[in-house]
Amino acid sequence: MLSPERRAAMNTGAEHWPGTSWYESKAGSRDWPVFEGRQRCRVAIVGAGLAGIATAIGLIERGLEDVVVLDDQGPGAGASGRNGGFVFAGYSLGNDALIGQVGEEAAARLHGYTRDAVALIRRRIERFGIECHVNDAGVLLADWFDEAETMQATAERMRRRLGFELEWIPAARMNDWVRSNRYGGGLLEPGSFHFHPLRHIRGLAERIETAGGRVFGRSRALSVDRSSGRWRVETERGTLEADELVLATGGYDRKLVPSVQRALQPVATYIAVTEPLGDRLPRHLPRPVAVYDTRFAFDYYRPLPDTRLLWGGRISMASRSPAAIRRLMRRDLARVFPDLENVQLEYAWGGWMSYARHEMPLLGRNRDGVWHALAFGGHGMATTTLAGEIMAEALCGDGRRLAEFERWRPVWAGGPLGRAVGQGIYWQAQLRDRLRDRRSHL
């Protein structure tokens, strides 16, 4: 039987894409002021996901408080407040691919930036007193294919080539972390953690307001143009003039600055949350780690403070109803924890990640002078925070780190055809995983 709160949510339209998240139900509603009239600022940021909010925080920390953030809904309404809550290092582009593109020295430096960003997120949570359910048990990569030698070789290669330390957990010890016959060993990332992403980003947005910045919700940017050396952003109820303009809209807008946003490919992922499991939860997760696995379209899951299990996964170009998401997530959950097959999935939702074809973030400034921070894929917490730091540095006159990302430019993602091709690539990768799985368990 569904809980009363879940039945109420289902009666208010939460059973349509993208659904209502567990995060929203626990954090409650937050009414952000609506932008009205004619206002001015030094820096206007369009998009109140973590990239935009982190840019504003970075500017404020560097002494530039005259910043305005505009969003169609409010901070964290998109992927930054609806994701799995994993905070760990790396980019959507795999580490070995990154080394192949830029060489060991540059790859080690770039990867190190993301590790620094993980630590920065943790410091800001403590400094600003943000209550966001931080769990320092860490993030564990579980070996789906039972390939111990491959996993250990990966750990050694990352240590040697990137300076990235991972702790090898042999299969004989995995029951101390996660109890499932599905896995071999695992790799634990020191310093990683998991948390409530919506509470986190709202806490940062409130810090912006306290420090003198301005954050507006329900204030969609309808158009932008430059005149007499200043940017003008039009919303339904007003006009914002700014010296500088930062675009940080992610996969939720692709029309405001088409020359950049045409490079984005929105990709869906799905999440469900169980009923409270009580003492069944530690029987499956003796240590409260966040877990993902070694497949292309992996499961990801973590324990929540109220003894629920958050379960996510799949990669798709399709939006699905929460009912369909529940069916998919239940099937995936049962493969790992068969005795949880019949638990109630009281929440189910989806969201759009944004990818570029090269799988790296789009950080830069276009010919018209629009700064942009977009396309963070499935590694958004660290990389969006890093992007905010890099944008703030550049806006304050230090563009050295921004220049390191110029090689990954906005390349047209192909529009509807690109989405179809992308879905075909994902299906092909999933087929390879299934064949590999069969071979590994013969």
Give 9-43 pLDDT, tens digit per residue. Answer: 443 446 899 999 999 999 988 999 999 999 999 99
Percent of the chain with pLDDT over 90: 83
Higher pLDDT, 65 or 439: 65
Give pLDDT, residue 3.
53
In the predicted structure, residue 160 carries a pLDDT above the cut 60: yes
The stretch 180-208 carries a mean pLDDT of: 97
In the predicted structure, residue 158 carries a pLDDT above the cut 90: yes
Alpha carbon 33 to chain centroid, angstroms: 25
Give pLDDT, residue 80.
95
| Mean pLDDT, all residues of the chain | 93
Place of tokens 């580490």: 95
Q: Does domain 31-135+195-264+358-411 have CATH number 3.30.980.10?
A: no
Place of tokens 């998919």: 328
| Confidence band of 5 (pLDDT split at 50, 70, 90) | very low
The stretch 281-308 carries a mean pLDDT of: 96
Question: Burial code of 274-311, b = ≥16 C-beta within 10 A, e = fewer?
Answer: bbbbeebbeebbeebbbbbbbbebbbbbbbbeeebbbb
The stretch 96-119 carries a mean pLDDT of: 98
Give pLDDT, residue 441.
65
The stretch 409-432 carries a mean pLDDT of: 83
Give pLDDT, residue 11.
37
**How close are the terminal C-alpha atoms of the chain, in Å?**
39
| Confidence band of 391 (pLDDT split at 50, 70, 90) | very high
Confirm if 302 and 177 have CB atoms less than 8 A apart. no
The stretch 205-229 carries a mean pLDDT of: 97
Domain extents in the chain: 31-135+195-264+358-411
d(CA 45, CA 233): 10
Segments of 275-406 assigned E as strands: 290-293, 300-303, 309-316, 345-355, 362-365, 371-374
Percent of the chain with pLDDT over 70: 96
In the predicted structure, residue 144 carries a pLDDT above the cut 90: yes
| Confidence band of 112 (pLDDT split at 50, 70, 90) | very high
